[in-house]
Structure 1
Amino acid sequence: MATALEKPTVTVESAPAPPPRKGFRAYWHLYAAISPFYLLFICFGLVPVGFSLYLSFHRWDGLGPMEWAGLSQYQYLLGDSDFWSSIGNTIVIWALATFPMIFLAMVTAVLLNSAVRFKNAYRFAYFLPNVTSVVAIAIIFGSVFSTNFGLVNALLQAVGLDQVAWLNTPWGIKVAVATLMTWQWTGYNAIIFLAGLQTIPGELYEAARMDGAGPVQTFFRITLPMMRPVLLFVLVISTVTGLQSFSEPQVLLQNTSNDSTFSGGPGHAGRTMVLYFFQQTFDNNDFGYGAAVAWGIFLVVVLFSIINWRLVQRRGED
């Protein structure tokens, strides 16, 4: 007689117990190694930012007691025609400097990428303006754009054109400041573009040449789409730095007006947002309103950075 099959027994091994958690004491030396950065960031970064926000709701001359002002500083800021004028000056100078700079940086990077000899020498030469003192650059450009003895006017006269008072007319001031910024940042962004170009596989270019694509088609069909993340990075960084321009117009135009060191030249044509912030804070000793202006600048920079990011991303999706 057959016996009933017995149900096999399955032994389930218990999972190993998780290792005991180590507390802060076990890793204190690692936290101590990275703590200087965070302590310095808190002291010189986070605390000043928080204090500036607190200060923007007060009236303070830097010495006396603070007086609560609430939102009145921001209400006045929204109706301040000088602040809006500084925004307009900043945007025009940024546009005149950024778009030619990106074009020249891309062209320079393509040429450097195709160069065979003296690559390192070319890279050093193009990057040198970025590590040169802005004050020294502005002094040199002040001589270049001088009305009577400037190099630019000398070239204009050589071809039979009239002189231009570059540092005494609204558009001349903007062009001079934008040219200085373009010259300063073209080499820096060219190096970034060059790093991006060197990550593109060479097989793509070889396949394009076999299909009969020319240099222009290769650039717009392969190089530019592959460089879109790098282009986005350069555009956002250029927006942040360009909208916060201070040293270039301040040094270049400091001797062109008797109004103030931070006036931005005749007619305030070169007064950027940051120059206006310094004028309100240190010329007028209105630290509370200066803090409100600083936060207004922050919002403008964030808004333009988001717009640029969205435009580049939308073109990438298309």
Structure 2
Amino acid sequence: MTIAKSPSDELREQPDRPEPTSLPAQRTVGRRSRFARWDLKYSPYVYILPFFILFAIVGLLPLLYTGWVSLNDWNLIRGQGQFVGLENFSRVLTERDFWVATRNTLSIFVIQVVPQLAFALVIAAALDRNIRNATFWRMGVLLPYIVMPVAVVLIFNSMFSDQYGLINTMLGRIGIDPIGWHTDVLASHFAIAGMVNYRWTGYAALILLAGMQAISRDYYEAATIDGAGPVRQFFSITIPQLKPTLVFVVITATIGGLQIFDEPRLYDVQGKGGPDGQWLTLALYLYRLGWDELDFGRASAVAWLLFLLIIVIALINLFISSRISSKERGRNS
């Protein structure tokens, strides 16, 4: 026998149905989802856009303008002259002072960068250990960086003076002939590289220290359990894990080392790079062409040649580091 159901029972047995959504609410939800997709897709570019705008204003536009100036017979007083194409580059490449400046720049760069990275690694490794008053020592390492270049040169000139310098005085007391810090080419390069390393070694050490502190301590604990000492841990764990930071430090040191200007400019009273160009650098040669000879065309050509030299050396450093990393990956696989 079938029992008839009342209308109220039929309503209770029906499944719940969602209430129809109004059309304005659907449009609001659609706009929000579309905005969320746009935010996810385009917001990273919006965040980095101020950097590119600033770079275009203070970096890219002056670089392109310098390239245009290098193609003209441009004088500081007369302004833009005749379009000469690559004549300024050909004139610069045939001048003796340009090649002397290139030799000096590369020599000072090599003497400066290698000891700077070595000392920075040692200092960073020492600061990475559990030492007392670690913050004090880290701040002390950075103090030479904030000293004005003029003060640094004055201090080092009293040390590297040819006649009354501290180093020559000490060498004379032990019977060694004095060194011509302002006459000998290699000696002047060592003196200038010493000034640069005094200022920038602490800065590089702090960057390397930040990279060391980002390395997981589990590696060191496992190495200690296996019986590896501090030296073995440094070369087997710290150096391989620190390679991205090392590449960054090398590239920044390359850019700064090839653009060195303050120390050679202030190394003597004249500021011309020595009587025979013993410590004449490309940046100092560029300054002499622009402000002493008022030839902005040739000075801009030197600036572009220096820019290309920096790019070539930076690419060489990147290539070497990538080859080393690929060899290690192949050895570990």
TM alignment of 1:138-287, pairs within 5 A: 138-253=153-268, 255=269, 261=271, 263-287=272-296
Counterpart amino acid of residue 59 in structure 1 = D
Aligned counterparts of 1:104 and 1:266: Cα–Cα separation in 2: 33
User: Any conservation in 1 of the 2:77–2:294 contact (CA below 8 Å)?
Assistant: no
Relative to structure 1, the CA distance from residue 195 to residue 36 in structure 2 (aligned partners, 3 Å threshold; closer, same or farther) is: closer
Query: Is 1:312 equivalent to 2:321 in the alignment?
Result: yes
User: Any conservation in 2 of the 1:239–1:304 contact (CA below 8 Å)?
Assistant: yes
User: Any conservation in 2 of the 1:138–1:248 contact (CA below 8 Å)?
Assistant: yes
Aligned with 1:67: secondary structure? coil
Aligned counterparts of 1:85 and 1:92: Cα–Cα separation in 2: 11
Give 2:110's match in structure 1, choosing from 91, 95, 98. Answer: 95
Query: Is 1:133 equivalent to 2:148 in the alignment?
Result: yes
Counterpart amino acid of residue 218 in structure 1 = Q
What is aligned with 1:120? 135
Query: Is 1:78 equivalent to 2:93 in the alignment?
Result: yes
Runs of 4+ aligned structure 1 residues displaced above 3 Å come to: 32-47
Aligned counterparts of 1:207 and 1:34: Cα–Cα separation in 2: 40
Q: Which runs of 5+ in 2 are unaligned?
A: 1-25, 36-45, 328-333
Aligned counterparts of 1:153 and 1:53: Cα–Cα separation in 2: 46
Relative to structure 1, the CA distance from residue 35 to residue 231 in structure 2 (aligned partners, 3 Å threshold; closer, same or farther) is: closer
Counterpart amino acid of residue 137 in structure 2 = Y
Greater Cα offset, 294-303 or 75-84: 75-84
What is aligned with 1:19? 31
Aligned with 1:187: secondary structure? helix
For each residue in 1:259-302, what CA deviation from the matched residue of structure 2 results, as whole angstroms up to 9, or x when unmatched? xx3x2113201111111111111111101111111101100011
What is aligned with 1:56? 70
Counterpart amino acid of residue 62 in structure 1 = L
Counterpart amino acid of residue 287 in structure 1 = F
Relative to structure 1, the CA distance from residue 155 to residue 316 in structure 2 (aligned partners, 3 Å threshold; closer, same or farther) is: farther
* Shift, 1:230, TM fit: 0.7
**Matched residue count:** 289
Aligned counterparts of 1:306 and 1:171: Cα–Cα separation in 2: 27
Aligned with 2:152: secondary structure? helix
* Shift, 1:315, TM fit: 1.2
What is aligned with 1:299? 308
* Shift, 1:84, TM fit: 1.8
Counterpart amino acid of residue 278 in structure 2 = A
User: Any conservation in 1 of the 2:111–2:190 contact (CA below 8 Å)?
Assistant: yes
TM-score (norm 2): 0.81
* Shift, 1:76, TM fit: 2.1
* Shift, 1:42, TM fit: 4.8
User: Any conservation in 1 of the 2:89–2:301 contact (CA below 8 Å)?
Assistant: yes
Give 2:59's match in structure 1, choosing from 36, 45, 49. Answer: 45
User: Any conservation in 1 of the 2:97–2:277 contact (CA below 8 Å)?
Assistant: no
The structure number with the bigger radius of gyration is: 2
Counterpart amino acid of residue 252 in structure 2 = I
Relative to structure 1, the CA distance from residue 42 to residue 140 in structure 2 (aligned partners, 3 Å threshold; closer, same or farther) is: same
Greater Cα offset, 95-104 or 73-82: 73-82
**Which structure dedicates a bigger proportion of its chain to helix?**
2
Aligned with 2:215: secondary structure? coil
* Shift, 1:37, TM fit: 7.0
For each residue in 1:26-79, what CA deviation from the matched residue of structure 2 results, as whole angstroms up to 9, or x when unmatched? xxxxxx999987776555434322221111110122122511111111222333
User: Any conservation in 2 of the 1:167–1:176 contact (CA below 8 Å)?
Assistant: no
Aligned counterparts of 1:133 and 1:226: Cα–Cα separation in 2: 34
Identity %: 35
Aligned counterparts of 2:217 and 2:70: Cα–Cα separation in 1: 54
For each residue in 1:100-142, what CA deviation from the matched residue of structure 2 results, as whole angstroms up to 9, or x when unmatched? 0100000001111114211111111110111111111111111
